[in-house]
Structure 1
């Protein structure tokens, strides 16, 4: 029997956490595209293409419309690298709290808020997520875009078939699961936007809150085990 989960992985690298984050990633891509001028807040490649097209067409308004989310995304990665270096185990808690706050504010922004402000905020938030949750069961992945995951999935499946390697098969199926849940998240995002409009992003706040509680529970469990080990050694 094939087991996709890995009980030995840290909580933030477990498959179920990656699947939850992939749902949010797909949701936010659909949300930003449908609600805010066709901008991809997660995948900056699309924005870079549209940036170049706008420049060639001398459409400087749209040029900055695509440039600002790219800058926000880049700044988020830099900030995440800094926080990873100087924060301890509470890092993931602060990341999730930041994401919840940003999305909650976006849900209730006035309708006359410039679109570029919202897309920049979502891009910044997604870059924090990418920079923080980098691995699934020890292997690199991204929860807010699929191109790299698809390449890794096909590469793993090729190794599984050519070398009859069960580990590569499991790894490939993990990547495919992430892609599937990303697509599910995008579909849910499109449906929710049609039903509830901009406040539908509160669903992501709920998912992040669940993830936050899981992370806190895991940290409490780890500290309790460390304390028990310390007490046993001191005896």
Structure 2
């Protein structure tokens, strides 16, 4: 099976799955910013900057708060890489899907935490989820894409539009058709996350969990339609 532009179809690299994952990441950023201490937990640039700035101001307590999410992010990368080791992948049978299930399980734990649990703990757990996702899902078709950080995606999408319009590159046009909807889904997720968090508070995380569950359902649906993904 191939997509419209001739790219071999894989559920893990499909636009519809990446849109769901990116929307969930935008949702989680809004959730942690509005409902969990004003932090962006899915990307670590802010944590590294604040660590440096607050250390420079000798605010050691505040600076050290940013260390656990960074460590959790690194651990998440290691876990995702371990899942992809040949011997582990064989045991799991479907390693990419296993990574998505791991994300879902961690978010379920977040959703079950009682009200009043430390926002710092939640930030650590969501940082872990984000790093597993970044490491496990990094492509749309044959093009790279980051489901939790938009800067590089915007650059690539802008370059694709330039290549399509100015250089008349067919491949660039195909890339642009993939990247821009996925980028927009991050903003949609953030908007949805903002609205839902205001009304549901801590329990808003269940919506992000639901988005990932829909993503898991896509794998199962594609299995029924065409065998394995």
The total of aligned residue pairs comes to 223
Q: Deviation of residue 65 (structure 1)?
A: 1.4
Structure 1 51/6 Cα, relative in aligned 2: closer, same or farther at 3 Å? farther
Contact 1:150 1:179 in 2 (8 A): yes
Alignment RMSD, CA only?
2.0
Deviation at 1:220, TM superposition (A): 5.2
State the alpha-carbon separation in 1 of the partners of residues 172 and 188 from structure 2.
24
Asked if 1:117 corresponds to 2:141, the answer is no
SS of equivalent residue, structure 2 residue 160: helix
Match of 2:202 among 175, 198, 205: 198
Note if contact 1:6-1:14 (Cα within 8 Å) is conserved in structure 2: no
- C-alpha contact (below 8 Å) 2:17/2:218 kept by paired residues: no
Q: Is the 8 A contact 1:76 1:127 kept in 2?
A: yes
> Which whole-Å CA distance do the structure 2 matches of 1:215 and 1:173 have between them?
22
Residues 124/12 of structure 1: CA separation in 2 closer, same or farther (3 Å cut)? same
Query: What corresponds to 2:185 in structure 1?
Result: 181
Unaligned runs of 5+ in 2: none
Whether the 8 Å contact between 1:6 and 1:137 is mirrored in structure 2 is: no
In 1, the alpha carbon distance for the partners of 2:213 and 2:6 equals: 23
The gaps in structure 1 that reach 5 residues or longer are 226-235
**TM-score by structure 1 length?**
0.88
Separation in 2 of the partners of 1:158 and 1:176? 13
TM-score, length basis structure 2: 0.90
Q: What whole-Å deviation, never above 9, does each CA across 1:159-203 have from its counterpart, x for those lacking one? A: 112311122022123212111110000000000000111101101
Give the distance between the partners of 2:27 and 2:62, measured in 1 at CA: 24
In structure 2, do the counterparts of structure 1 residues 123 and 56 end up closer, same or farther at CA, with 3 Å as the change threshold?
same
The 10-residue stretch of structure 1 (173-182 or 19-28) with the greater mean CA deviation from structure 2: 173-182
Q: Pick one of 65, 73, 89 that aligns with 1:87.
A: 89
Alignment check: 8 A CA contact 1:50 1:66 kept:
yes
Q: Does residue 171 of structure 2 align to residue 167 of structure 1?
A: yes
Is this contact kept in 1: 2:44–2:70, CA < 8 A?
yes
CA distance in structure 1 between the aligned counterparts of 2:4 and 2:179, rounded to whole angstroms: 10
Q: Alpha-carbon deviation of 1:4?
A: 7.0
| 1:5 positional shift | 7.0
CA positional deviation for 1:117: 1.0
Give distance in 2, aligned partners of 1:206 and 1:12: 17
User: Hey, what's the Cα distance between the residues in 2 that align with 1:5 and 1:14?
Assistant: 12
Residues in 1 aligned to 2:106 and 2:126: alpha-carbon distance in whole angstroms: 8
What is the correspondence of 1:33-112 to structure 2 with a 5 Å cutoff?
33-85=33-85, 86-88=88-90, 89-112=93-116
Aligned to 1:153: 157
